[in-house]
Structure 1
Amino acid sequence: MFPPSQGYSLDVEAISGICGSVSIACWVVVFSPQIIENFRRSSAEGLSIEFIIIWLLGDFANIIGAVLQKVLPTMIILAIYYTLADVVLLAQCFYYRGFTLRDPKPEPPTSTSNGNGDSPATERTALLNGNGNGNSSSPHPTPRDADQHRSQSVSSLGERFHTLGEHFSPATPLHPAPKSAEPPRPRPRPLWKTIVFNAVAVLVVVAAGVGGYFLSPASNQQDSVPDPAEQDDILTFSTWGQVFGYLCAVLYLGSRVPQLLLNYRRKSTEGLNALFFLFACIGNLTYVFSIFAFEPVCRGGKHGCKPGEASSIYGRYILVNLSWLLGSLGTLFLDMGVFAQFFMYRKDDEDDRGRRLDDEE
């Protein structure tokens, strides 16, 4: 039997719990859009491998700092989950690119001319013609032409050995590359469909987070009297916990820089899923709100605080969680920079897709 309906008041503790639950829901699904995007494209070209590696190191520091600082067990479990998801993304990068720790440099536009208005020389034309094309100035080879033929043949043989060696290189992708220079890309959705899909996905995840809070036992403990002893545990400083917490913040902040630079060099965000960064933004924002929404418990009870006691407790609470606040707020602003790149390069990406579709047709 359900209890009789009654008014529900949202106090500071409830707001913190709801924001924390929404943050958890976002972080649970944050990696899924990008993992699916890489799988659909059979490529991880849009993702900076340095971004994933630094983020993975930050998650390791997050686990250690969370354990030493004695944060909630849920946050420790989530930190472990983030690490496993990072490993999946990293495995995809290695599978599609090969075992390399560097992001590929953007390839310059290929030219179909060799500078003289002729078609580019190939291995076959180099062996059959003197200058790489069929318009030789002399029908009979000269000694100089013979030397050029020999040098080009040796160069061609060296290229064959180099190509053979690449198959044994750790930088060679495990996934066979497609025959074309560009990996196959799925047809993009219209803009309005993308907006509707992303909005529905966000609403579903946020609703799941809110519903998860109201279904949890924490929502039924509003009328319980907080224990100051439990608050003392939350406010206890752990030196090593703080060290790893700030290390985690630095790594999280530094992880976005390679992705921003890769997008800038490519002048494109193609291969990135916007939901990946959208869920990260919402997760960080609600996580920050869940920390700020804290009601100090004074020794004399909720309504028996001495002058300045509540502010002192709140200030110490913020200091304990400052590293996690800085990491979340910093990555939130950097992720907004990635969103700005989505809008900046969207027109170029659409033009590139249109040209590729025209070529395929």
Structure 2
Amino acid sequence: MDSDLFAKLFGYFSIGCWIVVFTPQLYENYTRKNTDGVSIQFLSFWILGDILNLFGIILENLLFTMLLLALYYLFADCLLMGQVIYYRTVYPQRHIEEVVVNDYGAGGSDLVTPQHRHHHRRSSISSSSSTSSSSSSSSSNASSHISGLSHHNDYLNEHTSLLPSNINSKSRTSSTTIQQQQQSSRTRTIVRLFFASSIVSWTALMVGSALFFFGPGQHKVDMSQWHLIPQLLGWGSAILYCVSRIPQIMQNFRNESVEGLSLPMFVFSVVGNVTYCVSIVLESTDPTYLFINLPWLIGSGGTLFFDFTIFFQFYMYRQRTDLNNKTSV
């Protein structure tokens, strides 16, 4: 089997991953009827990257599998964005209207006619006049009894505050506050490490690419095959794809939660991006060919660092949730 066949196999396998990649997140949103866990900036950058990617592939006349992927990217991202907008704007309003209608329908059976209401008012007036004397005689006894109860409650509150259960409750509250402060400090440290690692990774990637194509001992790249506009579109899409993960990562850090996100979506994304890069490399290792496809290689391979950061967030925050559930039990 030659490399061309392997390139096609990996390319179609990548398409298969991207066909199902959004299904887990779409299902997660549908079952929860909530999309607060998904960053809308994340999807916005992704869609802009899809548009630039599609035009760049068309103008550069790249692989047919790349064109299919670009078209599906745009369709699936728009579908996911539509779901996010629906559950954040349309669905809550419809849900409120349904609740109002249901409450009105349930309360309708309690409505009475004006004649019945008038009769009820007259009977209540007559009964209130007959009971006014007895109620006035008992009011003085009730007030003295209530006064005694209030003094008794003040005495109980003063002394029960020293009971072990209340002391334990206060200690638990203070320990929880300390834990939250420690978690916030740890989150800030992780965010700093994330940005530092991002800068180092991108610098290493770009320097390595430059040395590979233009370093000593490398074959010259035929720049006559390099077209400015498609390359600018390709690099724009690559940057948007990589930057798109940052709002989602920062939202997870701020909320200290990955609730509402689907882990399989990012698993399929990683597998799809890896096989996508492999299919390009297997197609040809000619420096000119690789240099022309470099924006699309960076756009897929460059996102892996950010995807693995999200994997780390899933591990960290779900482990913390499990620990909190155990301690609460």
**Residues 24/86 of structure 1: CA separation in 2 closer, same or farther (3 Å cut):** same
1:246 corresponds to 2:235:
yes
**Residues 92/349 of structure 1: CA separation in 2 closer, same or farther (3 Å cut):** farther
Decide which of 78, 99, 102 is 1:87's aligned counterpart.
78
| Residue of structure 2 equivalent to 1:291 | 280
Decide which of 59, 62, 75 is 2:53's aligned counterpart.
62
| Residue of structure 1 equivalent to 2:137 | none
Q: CA deviation at 1:20?
A: 1.0
The number of residues matched between the two structures is: 196
SS at match of 1:21: helix
1:322 corresponds to 2:294:
yes
Normalized per residue, the structure richer in helix is: 2
Whether the 8 Å CA contact 2:12–2:65 is kept in 1: the answer is: no
- 5+ residue gaps, structure 1: 1-9, 100-234, 297-313
Letter in 1 for 2:246: V
Q: Name the CA distance, whole Å, in 1 between partners of 2:320 and 2:45.
A: 29
TM-score, structure 2 length as denominator? 0.56
**Residues 54/354 of structure 1: CA separation in 2 closer, same or farther (3 Å cut):** farther
1:75 corresponds to 2:66:
yes
Q: How does 1:164-183 map onto structure 2 within 5 Å? A: none
Whether the 8 Å CA contact 1:284–1:329 is kept in 2: the answer is: yes
| Residue of structure 1 equivalent to 2:271 | 282
| Residue of structure 1 equivalent to 2:130 | none
Decide which of 320, 323, 326 is 1:348's aligned counterpart.
320
| Residue of structure 2 equivalent to 1:200 | none
Q: Which has the higher Rg, Structure 1 or Structure 2?
A: 2
| Residue of structure 1 equivalent to 2:22 | 31
- 5+ residue gaps, structure 2: 91-223
Decide which of 33, 40, 54 is 2:31's aligned counterpart.
40
| Residue of structure 1 equivalent to 2:44 | 53
Q: CA deviation at 1:75?
A: 2.4
| Residue of structure 1 equivalent to 2:6 | 15
Q: How does 1:185-204 map onto structure 2 within 5 Å? A: none
- Structure 1's consecutive aligned runs of 4 or more residues displaced over 6 angstroms after TM superposition are 352-356
| Residue of structure 2 equivalent to 1:272 | 261
Whether the 8 Å CA contact 1:270–1:349 is kept in 2: the answer is: no
Q: Name the CA distance, whole Å, in 1 between partners of 2:284 and 2:77.
A: 34
Q: CA deviation at 1:354?
A: 7.3
Whether the 8 Å CA contact 2:284–2:290 is kept in 1: the answer is: no
Q: How does 1:114-129 map onto structure 2 within 5 Å? A: none
- Structure 1 range deviating more: 41-50 or 71-80: 71-80
**% of aligned pairs identical?**
41
Whether the 8 Å CA contact 2:11–2:65 is kept in 1: the answer is: no
Whether the 8 Å CA contact 2:53–2:233 is kept in 1: the answer is: yes
Q: Name the CA distance, whole Å, in 2 between partners of 1:295 and 1:247.
A: 24
